[in-house]
Amino acid sequence: MRPRQALELAGLEIPAGVVSSKLWDRAITSNKSWRLCARGSELACRQWQGDLVVFNPISGATHLLDIVSGEVFRALMEGPAGARDLARRIAKLLEVDCNEETVAAAERILDNLDQLGLAEPAGPDAP
């Protein structure tokens, strides 16, 4: 895949001139699709006042997710999604503009969910 195509897929504005490696990395990361590790039917979760409590049937552990992490988790329950898509959900929830900051927040949350064994990269480039 050419850099230009990757950036277009990621929905990033293509800067004039040479594409920087940092921008390229962000484009690839943000476009990576994520999914839940467990099947939806196996998961158990409950929401009280925004906070989400999730039972992970794979690890047997129970996790408390704050309102933003819970929104990302619930989005992944609907199907695989990339950080950029999830950032839009976060922005809508928090009533802020979707920008690089919200994308970075979505990536951090996905990384946390990955460490908890709740989410994993999906798609052809998934490990």
- Chain residues binding other proteins by CB under 8 A are 44-49, 51-53, 55, 57, 60, 62, 64, 74, 77
Pairing of strands 51-55, 44-48: antiparallel
Q: Closer to other proteins by CB, 21 or 49: give it.
A: 49
Q: How far is the CB of 48 from other proteins (least distance, A)?
A: 4
From first CA to last CA, the distance across the chain in angstroms is 18
Q: DSSP letter at 50?
A: T
Q: How far is the CB of 52 from other proteins (least distance, A)?
A: 7
Q: Closer to other proteins by CB, 66 or 111: give it.
A: 66
Q: How far is the CB of 55 from other proteins (least distance, A)?
A: 4
Q: How far is the CB of 121 from other proteins (least distance, A)?
A: 23
Q: Closer to other proteins by CB, 23 or 38: give it.
A: 38
Nearest Cα residue to 56 out of 46, 67, 42, 75:
42
Evaluate whether 89 touches 76 at the Cβ level (below 8 Å): no
Q: Closer to other proteins by CB, 14 or 64: give it.
A: 64
